[in-house]
Structures are given as structure tokens and as C-alpha cells.
Amino acid sequence: MAMLAAYEEGARLTKALGRLKERHRDMTALQVMAFTYIAANPGISARQLMEPLGTQTESTISRAIATLSDVGTKEIPKGLGLIELIRSTEDRRRYMLQLSKKGHALMSSIVNDLNVGRKK
């Protein structure tokens, strides 16, 4: 019985991640992880994001952030607009990361997909 519940959870997660890929086909696994981690930890800095995502270089996380935000990269010039970079009032060189309105809408749809069919 517990195994069936785990499979059902996995199916809901697959559906939720599928929604993300439908909207943003070019998102990498790192970008998906960064997006969901920022959603769970608003105000996190790029440096703080490196460890939980297992990235070793600032350039790797910087590219992911540029893609997820409006900054963009060579591959996605306008960016996805899912996160915002807010300049820290304590350290002007540091930015805090949080979901944009578009990012909140996407995360809400993912959470809804995860909750569909879940037993209460």
C-alpha cells in the first residue's frame, strides 16, 4: 500500500514538472532546481543558492539566474521572467532572489498539480 502511494506521489510530481517543461522547454535541470529552491527560500542570494544545488562555480549559478530572470543569456536573450533580483540594502553588490508575479503563477499551478488526487 505504501509503495502505491509513493508511485502516486511520483506521478503527481512528474505531471507538475511536465507543466513547467510545457511552458519553458529550454529549462535545464539546474534552472528547475534553482526556481523551486528560490520559491521555497525567497530572499536567498546567488552564493547561498550554490551549495544546495551542488554547483561549484559562480558562473554556473549566474547563468541559471540570468535565464530565470529578465536579464537573459545568449541562448535566451530576454530571460524567462520567473524571478526578480532585488538589490540588498545592506550590501549593494549583493542581490536577493525571489519569484516574480509570473514565477508565483507558475509555482501555484505546480502546487495545484501536486495536490490533485492527494488524499486528505
What whole-number distance in Å separates Cα of residue 89 and Cα of residue 82? 22
Cβ-based neighbours of 26, under 8 Å, separated by 6 or more: 75, 76
- Residue 95 grid coordinates: 542581490
Model confidence pLDDT, tens digit, residues 61-108: 999 999 999 998 888 888 999 999 999 888 888 899 999 999 999 889
Provide the pLDDT confidence category of residue 3 given band limits of 50, 70 and 90. Answer: low
Question: How high is the pLDDT of residue 77?
Answer: 83
pTM to 2 decimals?
A: 0.81
Residue-range domains of the chain with CATH: 27-114 (1.10.10.10)
Question: How high is the pLDDT of residue 110?
Answer: 82
* Residue at 3: amino acid letter: M
Model confidence pLDDT, tens digit, residues 97-113: 999 999 999 889 888 87
Cβ-based neighbours of 45, under 8 Å, separated by 6 or more: 88, 94, 95, 96, 97
Question: How high is the pLDDT of residue 81?
Answer: 94
Distance of CA 104 to the CA centre of its chain: 10
With beta carbons less than 8 A apart as the criterion, state whether 65 and 57 touch: no
